């Protein structure tokens, strides 16, 4: 069981975890409310991409990452070299911390996977001090994720019955702004964050796409080997066209939202 947990974490890190790491500096810049000496909570920290980037770039006194996945936490703990960083198990919808115990609470690419996002947002606000910043980011759901668009375009082309899966509720600035405003945060702002998704070759892209946690992997797992190869070759053609295989760069857009816990 333990080896499977580590395997899942390694696969996550090879795909989404790596992109989370690329996204993290842009997200931190947008958050803007983390100061030297702060206590910071990263909700849904996964393998620690955002947690570690905060620790590496800001002199916070304490950075805590919390996640429900034992495998991801073990991965993060194994790679932790910071004495002021810790990783704990827990549920975003019921954070195990006292009210007003953190100066800033953040979450990257997590809120769309929570069954009750409004509950998680309220919990993030509850554990944050008055005047503190609460922020999250979610991948765009309207065409800004080039890899997802290409993948599902190819899937539907070879299988008209294919249905794009995954929860895409919060992948827009309006949805995130509405969620943060309804939670009661003040000074709510959103911003687009765009990063490159880089692959050394098409085979590298396919390996990551078919192994990384997420809807494409789930869809690919339902296909027979023949249909899997048909999809793979259609996607190869759609991405490479007539050019030879080689490095590939696709754009990925996320939307970020931030707000302040009211002083009143």
pLDDT digits (tens, 9 = 90+) for 27-77: 999 999 788 899 999 999 999 999 999 999 988 889 999 999 999 999 999
Instruction: Enumerate the β-bridge partners of residue 89.
Output: 67
Q: How far apart are the first and last CA of the chain?
A: 48
Angle formed at CA 241 by CA 236 and CA 247, multiple of 5 degrees: 70
Closest CA to 72 of 35, 94, 42: 42
> Measured between alpha carbons, how far is 151 from 219 in angstroms, rounded to an integer?
11
- How confident is the model at residue 94, as a pLDDT? 97
**Tokens 């687009």 appear where?**
192
Q: What's the average model confidence in pLDDT over 255-259?
A: 98
Find the range with the poorest average confidence among 16-25, 55-64, 115-124, 236-245.
16-25
Q: Find out whether 92 and 107 touch, Cβ atoms under 8 Å.
A: yes
Lowest mean pLDDT among 5-19, 213-227, 234-248: 5-19
Contacts 24+ apart (CB under 8 A), 119-122: 119/93, 120/43, 120/92, 120/93, 121/179, 121/180, 121/183, 122/183
Confidence category of residue 12, pLDDT binned at 50, 70, 90: low
- pLDDT digits 0-9 by tens, 94-141: 999 999 999 999 999 999 889 899 999 999 999 999 999 999 999 998
Q: Mapping DSSP to helix (H, G, I), strand (E, B) and coil, where does residue 153 land?
A: helix
CB of 26 closer than 8 Å to CB of 137? no
The CA-CA-CA angle for residues 205, 25, 151, to 5°, reads 25
- Band of the pLDDT at 20, cuts 50, 70, 90? confident
Q: pLDDT value at position 76? A: 94
Helix axes 117-126, 173-183, angle to 10 degrees: 50
Residue whose C-alpha is closest to residue 234's, from 170, 184, 162: 162
pLDDT tens digits along 152-170: 999 999 999 888 766 567 8
What is residue 18's predicted lDDT score, i.e. its pLDDT? 65
At residue 36, what are phi and psi to the nearest 5 degrees?
A: -55, 130
Mean pLDDT of 212-216: 78
Whole-number mean pLDDT of the chain? Answer: 90
Angle at Cα 164 formed by Cα 160 and Cα 166, nearest 5°? 165
DSSP string, 111-146: GGGSTTHHHHHHHHHHTEEEEEEEEEEEE-SSS-BH
Q: Is the pLDDT of residue 209 over 80?
A: yes
């Amino acid at each position: 069981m333990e080896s499977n947990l580590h395997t899942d974490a390694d696969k996550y890190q090879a795909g989404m975890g790596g992109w989370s790491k690329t996204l993290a500096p842009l997200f931190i810049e947008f958050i803007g409310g983390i100061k030297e000496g702060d206590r910071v909570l990263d909700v849904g920290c996964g393998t620690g991409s955002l947690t570690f980037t905060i620790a590496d770039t800001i002199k916070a006194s304490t950075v805590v990452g919390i996640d429900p996945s034992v495998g991801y936490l073990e991965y993060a703990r194994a790679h932790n070299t910071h004495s002021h960083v810790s990783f704990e198990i827990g549920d975003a919808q019921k954070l195990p911390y006292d009210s007003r115990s953190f100066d800033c609470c953040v979450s990257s690419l997590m809120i769309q996977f929570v069954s009750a996002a409004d509950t998680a947002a309220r919990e993030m606000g509850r554990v944050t001090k008055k005047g503190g910043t609460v922020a999250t980011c979610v991948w765009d759901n309207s065409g800004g994720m080039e890899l997802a668009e290409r993948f599902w375009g190819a899937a539907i082309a070879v299988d008209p019955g294919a249905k794009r899966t995954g929860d895409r509720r919060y992948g827009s600035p309006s949805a995130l702004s509405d969620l943060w405003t309804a939670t009661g945060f003040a000074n709510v702002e959103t911003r687009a964050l765009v990063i490159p998704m880089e692959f050394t070759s098409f085979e590298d892209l396919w390996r990551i796409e078919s192994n990384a946690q997420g809807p494409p992997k789930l869809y690919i797992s339902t296909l027979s080997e023949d249909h899997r190869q048909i999809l793979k070759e259609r996607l190869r053609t759609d991405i490479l066209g007539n050019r030879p295989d080689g490095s590939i760069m696709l754009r990925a857009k996320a939307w970020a939202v931030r707000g302040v816990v009211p002083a009143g």
